[in-house]
Each structure stands twice: as C-alpha cells, then as structure tokens.
Structure 1
Amino acid sequence: MSLRSTVAILLLIVLAACAGRNTTGLLSPTPNLYTFETGEAYPEAGVPIRFRTTTTEILYMTDRNPVVDEFGAVVSYGERRDDSMAFGASWVEYGGLGSWGELIERTQASGPGAMTRLAPVGLTELARLPQTPLPYQSGGGRLQATADANAAYAARSATIREEVAARMRASGVDRVLLYVHGFNNEFNDGVGTLASIWHYAGRRSLPVLFSWPAGNDGPLAYFRDIESGEFSVFHLKEFMRILADVPEVKRIDIVAHSRGSAVMTDALRELMLESRGGGRDPRQDLKTGVLVLAAADLDIGVTRQRLVAERFADGFEQINIYTNPNDGALRLSRIIGNVTRLGSVDPDKLSERELADLEGTGNVNIVIVDGGSVRLGHAYFRENPAVLSDIVLALRTRAMPGTQFRPLDPVAGNIWSLHQNYPAEVLPEMLDLPLVDR
C-alpha cells in the first residue's frame, strides 16, 4: 500500500471519529438564552398541554433496515439500506425526572449538574410504504406503475398523513420541525438530537426525524455513507410530498447537519424544479419555512451552481448556514475531496462576486461561529450553548440576523459573527413574538 493510500485511510478513520454522533445520550447543554440571571426565559406558557411531559414522542421516517428482537418485533434500525420506508413513533425519556416542572427547572439551570439523560424507551412502526421502485408496465407510450402498486402506495401514504394530522390536531400546532442527521450517525443519535433541539425551541411544533442509512463500518465508511445518502434522496422527496399534503401542516422548518445537508438539499432542489416545471410556487407547494444547515458537508462550488444559480433560496423564509473554518471533520473532508466544504468556508476568502451573490439572495445568511477559547467539534450546533441559542431564536421568532431579536454581529452583507456569550442580553419579548411567516 502506498503512503498516500495509507494517509487517506487514516484520514477517513479520523473523520468518522469526528462525525458528531450523539453517543453521550444527554440532553444538549442549556442554551445561553435560558441561563441568564432571571433564569425564567424558557417559554413554558407557550408549550401545548399535550407536550408538557418528560417522555417525548418523536415521529420518524427511515429507509434503514429494521432490527428485530427474538419475537420479530422491530426495536430499532441499522445502517443497511431498505427499499421501503418505515414510518413510526419513537419515545425518548428525559431520564430520572419526576415531573414536567422538574424538567423546566433543569432546562433553566447551567453547569454539570444540570445535564439530563436522554433514554430511548421504545418505538412503534405505524406504516411501511411498498418497496421502490414500484412495479411498472408500459401503456400508452409511457411507463406507469401498476394499478395495484399505486393503490397500495396511496393507501399507506394516507395512513401516514392521518397519523401526522391527528397529532397536529391534538396538540394544536401547525408546524413540523424536521431533522436530518449527518454521517456516522445511528438511528437513536438522530432521535436524541431532535429531542434536544425541539425541547429548547419551545415544543411548538411536531418533531419529525428523517433517518437515512448512515453509520457504516470500516475505513471507507465515509464514502459508503455518502452513497447511502444519495440512495435516500428519492425517499426523502417522497416523504416531503407526504408531509406537505397534510392540510394541518402549514410550515415545515428543517435542520440538517453535516452530510445530511447534502441529502436534504438534493431532495429539495429536485422538488423545487418539479414545482416550477408545473407552474407552481415551490414555497407554497412544499410549505417550507426556516432552513438550518449546520456544519454542512457540501462542496461549495456545487452549492453555488446547483443552489444559488437555481434560486434555491426562493423556497424558504430564510436559510441560516452555520460555519466554522476550524471544523476538524470538514477540514479532513476537504483534504479527501480537495474542495472547500460549505460548513467550513472562510468568508474572508470569498471573492467579491461570491459575496455579491450571497447578498443578492436576501434571505441566505452565513453565521460564523467564533470558538474563542472553547473547543468546537463537528456537532457544535447541538453542543454549543451560543449556537443553540441562535437556532432557537430563528425557529421561535422567525427574526432575521442583526435584528433586535437575533443580535448577531455584522461582518459584511449577509455574513454574521456569533460569539460565545451570545446573546449578551435576554429581552423578555424575544420569545413572545408570534410565529409569523416572513
């Protein structure tokens, strides 16, 4: 084996170790937003009664292979691909807490003693879509899915829509918070991360996870995960269509991390092209709201050509791209691919044309995470109290950066800096803004 090959394999092993799995099983550290002097900033009054519990239901859609127990019951999902998608409910317990009031007290505390353990307590598969591709037949000069296949797919899709709609009606919320994890993540990693973000964002939405078959083993795991993500794009498109077809869903906010950003944006791009091709407005068609791309493992050149040139930003209220030029995992990814990754871009190195393109979108913001003396790993979006604070403010208030309710420091154009004590001051009205679409 050549020296270059040996170095490449070592880099891949290190990259897998830096992928940002939620292996600790802990609720994310309390955002700065909730740990100032008053300690009363968590918007408990706005949490629907149904959601005031210490055990959370996280809905999921996955094309991972099912893991079954000795009785044949599905207990989790693995890293292999499945041609059919499973929809279900997973439950997470904010462990060791006796009441909702105790969880709120812990939420507003800080320090090591405030950490709350997250424990998966079971899941139920509610529906499984037929395998894709569906069986086709030729007729009238075109390929069409068979009538039986179409009927089965439609019936099971309807079951999923009704399960979502029933929960929206019961809770009184009209938004979905959809999370797509990164590479080297197991199924429960995604569940735990979403449980943290959704909780801190005030529980005013329905939490839904899309889990793709990441977490492959071996020195080539990174490339296997990339290909698995490409495999999942079609399935994610189908799921987005199902969610958007639920009348009770008014907006879908999206958080995507690492390689999950590629899976999500590829699916959204294709859906937007279809929508425009049919003469429709993509944002109205897909009901998309805020998009968060955290530590995005995306080729920056491909991003400019496929997303910026094709007016991708038109489909959202706002897009927030969190970047850290010192992200170790993305630096390794850059070495392997020889191309800068979006989540580690240094704005100082952007050309005037690139800066103008960014500013011209109007609603795309790059937020530079200033680590200061704090070590920032690849999963800083859920582990760093300052970053988590800004994500919460974006989801809760819909405010744009640089406003009273998201006081990020301006750098240039649509580029902002986020320091480690952000936000420096909590205003009581920060979390009381109505959820208004921008």
Structure 2
Amino acid sequence: MYCTLKTFTKTRLFRFAFLVFLLPCLLLPPACSYSTETVGKHLAAGDTSKAHVEQDTSFDILYVTNRAPSTSVEEKLSYGATRGHSMAYGSVTLAHRGVSVEVVRISKHGEFPQSPYPIELTDRGPRRVPAVVDAHLSATAALQGEVSRRLAKAKRKEVVVFIHGYNNSFDDAAKATGKICNTLSADFVCVSLSWPAGGSGGAFYGYNIDRESGEFAVLDLKKAIRTLATADGVERLHLIAHSRGADVLLSALHQLGMESYMTRTSISERYKINNVVLFAPDVDLDVATTKLFGFVSDPDAPFGTRASPYGLLPPVGSLHLTVYSSPNNQALALSSALFGSVIRLGRLTSASIDSKAASANALWNNTQISGVADFVEYQGNASFTGHSYFLDDPAVQKDLDALLRGHLKAGNPGRPLIEIKRPFWKIIGRTSQIKRD
C-alpha cells in the first residue's frame, strides 16, 4: 500500500510539474521555441483577398477601459496592466501595414469618477455625493454622444463590443477589436472594452493576478454595457468575449439580468442585447451555468416588488448565445487541470454530455427549452495552443460574419456549420503546421 501511495503521489507531482513547465508555452506563447503567436501577431494572418481589408489605411474604434494610464517611451498616452479606479473612454486609431494592424494613436475623450462612488451622510440619511453623480451623468452623456455620432455614419445602427482574455495588453485588445471590425466589413460601431490584464507576474502568478483583475473589472464592465446600450440610436448590441473575458462578461450579464428581472423585463429588451458570442471561454461549466441561469431559476427572486414563483419568465426576445469550443484547446486543458474543473466551457463538445458529471448540468437543457443557444465545436488547430482560432481561422471569421451581419441562424445556408445534434454544431477549420523558429 505504501508503494502504491508513493507511486501515485510521484505521478501526480510529475503531472503537475509537467503542466507548470508547459504553462509559459500554453498561456504565454512567446516563451516557446515554436512559431506560435500572440493575439497581436494573429492580426497579421488575415485573409488579404477580402475586399474590405484596405492596405496602408487608418481607421479608429472606441475604447472603454479601467486600466491605469501610462506613458510610452515616445510620451504618448497608453494603458498598462495596473488597475485603474476610474473608467476612461476615447478612440484608438489603427492602421493597416500590409496585412498587419498597428496602434497609431490613443486619444482619451473623458472618464468617469473614481469607483466605488462615495457616500455622504445627511440629516435624512446616506446618499451618493451629488457632485460625483453630476460627473457620472456628464461622462455618461459624453460617451453616449460619441456612440450616437458614430452610429449616424455607420451602415448599421448596431454596436459590437469585444472583451479580451488573459495576458492581453491594451494594444492587443484594440488590434483584436479592429480585426473583428474588419471581419464585419466595418458596418458596425466597434468598441474595445479592456480590463487590466497582461501584468508582469509571470506565467503562473500572472494568471492568478489577471483572474482577480477580471473580478475587479465587473462593476465597470456592467456600467459600460449599460451606457452603450442606452445611447440614442442603438438598435442592437452584440457582445463578444474571449477566454477569461468570457467569465468577466458572464458576471456582468448576471448582474444586468438581475436588474432586468427585478424591473419585470428581459436583458434583451432592457439593454438591446442581441448576440452574446463566447470564443474559447475559460470558465468552468458549472460556474457558467450558475451565472447564466442562477437568478431566473430562483423562485424567491423578486419580480418587481415581490417574488412570483409560478409566474411566467420574461420572454428572451432576440437574445442568442453562441459558444465556440474546441477539444484541441491546450490552454484550457491546462486551466482545467490547475483548477480541478470537470470541464471548461471552451472545451465542451457533444461527447461531453455522455459523461455523468456533464450530463447532470442544466446548461443545454435550459438552452434547448428556451432555444437561445448554439454550441459550435471548432475542429481545427489554427495555432500551437488552439486558443486564438477566432482571429486566425477564416472559417470561424466567416461564421461570425454570417451570424452578426447576416442574422443567420445555425443551420441556415451561409453558416459553414454541420449539425451534430442540436444545439451542437461543428465547424471545420484549417490545421496549421507548427514549425520551429
């Protein structure tokens, strides 16, 4: 028995050491000796045959961030990985340099007060400080005014918001948003919603730091979504998140869903949210399910001024969830092993429901009943880690374009999907060759 226990312990230690050894390769690609790519480098791999990709031209997107500002070597405004205590907004000018995209200039337009907003005591009780509320309302109006001005010039009166993942810099997030905007033929108003990720804590500790910074960002992310959605002229809001950004987004949507339910309406009606698209979501399946359905499934939750246990739920309207996952995603395999997850949402496949632990999960049961979700299995290997295929594989880009611009449902002609068993689909991506530098 002692030998068996000793062998088991050594095996577990070996597996853990091996995973930690691979961590820089899976989550920090530049640390590897292979020609893997960061998010920024993926932007150089676009399909140059597309008519909407113009050479050596500039364009700009909106940004909203709660990163602390920093100054670059050229004394230009930038944002680092440190947490800021106020939410700033402005524009990022991007330029095509051949097939790549570069950040040319960051222009700050304004910022919200430091949060949480202070409370003061009065003779009648506590209240928010009026001067801070005035500053908040002024910043809200200014940001919404900028959105409305851009909508007036856009082909579609719709806003696309991108929330990045772990270890992404501000510039990485802006470039990825620009790539998505180009994929959609620049028909939408595009916003990079950037939270303080990409610190210098190293491969292992850096992940934990980013994880907590994501939790820190939820309050501002919720505020930003609410502000963007209620700007004059917005007809639809599309939210796209990658990796750890998906967990941050789901937390914000959980809270916005509570707000909507308590006012007897749905999140799609109140905030015009049309599509929620999660690419390689780095979140545990059970955690994701709780954030998506935990509140509305609670019969004691107040619906207006009182609970309505047997009442009908608000209609979901046009809201649709699309989850892209891949069994070849090695970064999420490592994340799952480190955190003891049964399965990460970004590795969920139709085969997962064969396992007892996964089949007990209510995610697909609830989504099938409401008809609001599709799960797309990416069967390709577009990079060493298999984690950034949404930027690198034309098949995935084509499907995103068909979903958002074409308003096509899974199964409609024009979506490059093959049905497995609803709500599961598969998309055949390209297989990249991994070469040594």
TM above 0.5, yes or no, is yes
Residue number among 275, 278, 286 corresponding to 2:271 in the alignment: 286
Residue number among 388, 407, 419 corresponding to 1:379 in the alignment: 388
Q: 1:195 to 1:27 in 2, by over 3 A?
A: farther
- TM superposition shift of 1:203: 1.3
1:15-414 equivalent positions in 2, closer than 5 A? 15-18=26-29, 21-24=38-41, 26-30=43-47, 54-69=57-72, 75-96=77-98, 116-139=99-122, 143-217=126-200, 218=202, 219-310=204-295, 314=316, 317-339=319-341, 340-351=343-354, 354=361, 355-371=364-380, 377-414=386-423
3-state secondary structure, aligned to 2:233: coil
Unaligned runs of 5+ in 1: 97-115, 423-438
Partner deviation per Cα, 1:175-226 (whole Å, 9 max, x = no partner)? 0110000000001111111111111212111010000000022230001000
The answer (yes or no) to whether the contact 1:272–1:315 under 8 Å persists in 2 is no
Structure 2: how far apart are the matches of 1:349 and 1:172?
41
Partner deviation per Cα, 1:121-172 (whole Å, 9 max, x = no partner)? 1111000111001121134775421111111111122111111111212335
Count, aligned residues:
387
Q: 1:269 to 1:316 in 2, by over 3 A?
A: farther
- TM superposition shift of 1:290: 1.3
- TM superposition shift of 1:285: 1.1
Partner amino acid, structure 2, of 1:204: D
**2:306 corresponding residue in structure 1:** none
Unaligned runs of 5+ in 2: 1-9, 31-36, 298-314, 432-437
Partner amino acid, structure 2, of 1:135: P
- TM superposition shift of 1:375: 6.0
Partner amino acid, structure 1, of 2:327: P
Structure 2: how far apart are the matches of 1:89 and 1:128?
12
TM-score (norm 1): 0.81
TM-score (norm 2): 0.81
3-state secondary structure, aligned to 2:192: strand
**2:7 corresponding residue in structure 1:** none
**1:110 corresponding residue in structure 2:** none
Structure 2: how far apart are the matches of 1:275 and 1:242?
15
Q: 1:28 to 1:195 in 2, by over 3 A?
A: farther
Structure 2: how far apart are the matches of 1:52 and 1:356?
47
Structure 2: how far apart are the matches of 1:246 and 1:183?
29
Partner amino acid, structure 1, of 2:261: R
The answer (yes or no) to whether the contact 2:381–2:389 under 8 Å persists in 1 is no
Structure 1: how far apart are the matches of 2:164 and 2:17?
29
3-state secondary structure, aligned to 1:61: strand
Q: 1:52 to 1:272 in 2, by over 3 A?
A: farther
- TM superposition shift of 1:325: 1.1
Partner deviation per Cα, 1:86-138 (whole Å, 9 max, x = no partner)? 10100110125xxxxxxxxxxxxxxxxxxx02121111100011100112113
Structure 2: how far apart are the matches of 1:374 and 1:23?
13
3-state secondary structure, aligned to 2:27: helix
Structure 2: how far apart are the matches of 1:372 and 1:27?
17
Structure 2: how far apart are the matches of 1:372 and 1:170?
38
Structure 2: how far apart are the matches of 1:82 and 1:242?
19
Higher RCO by CA contacts (8 Å cutoff, separation 6 or greater): 1
Q: 1:331 to 1:421 in 2, by over 3 A?
A: closer
- TM superposition shift of 1:236: 0.6
3-state secondary structure, aligned to 2:93: strand
3-state secondary structure, aligned to 2:322: strand
Q: 1:372 to 1:6 in 2, by over 3 A?
A: closer
Partner amino acid, structure 1, of 2:394: P
3-state secondary structure, aligned to 1:185: coil
Farther off after superposition, 406-415 or 80-89: 406-415
- TM superposition shift of 1:6: 5.1
3-state secondary structure, aligned to 1:56: strand
Structure 2: how far apart are the matches of 1:201 and 1:236?
23
The answer (yes or no) to whether the contact 1:67–1:78 under 8 Å persists in 2 is yes
- TM superposition shift of 1:27: 4.0
Partner deviation per Cα, 1:8-37 (whole Å, 9 max, x = no partner)? 64354344315973232734422xxx96xx
Taking only the aligned residue pairs, the percentage that are identical comes to: 28
3-state secondary structure, aligned to 1:371: strand
The answer (yes or no) to whether the contact 1:178–1:207 under 8 Å persists in 2 is yes
Structure 2: how far apart are the matches of 1:212 and 1:232?
6
What RMSD over aligned residues (CA atoms) do the two structures have, in Å? 2.9
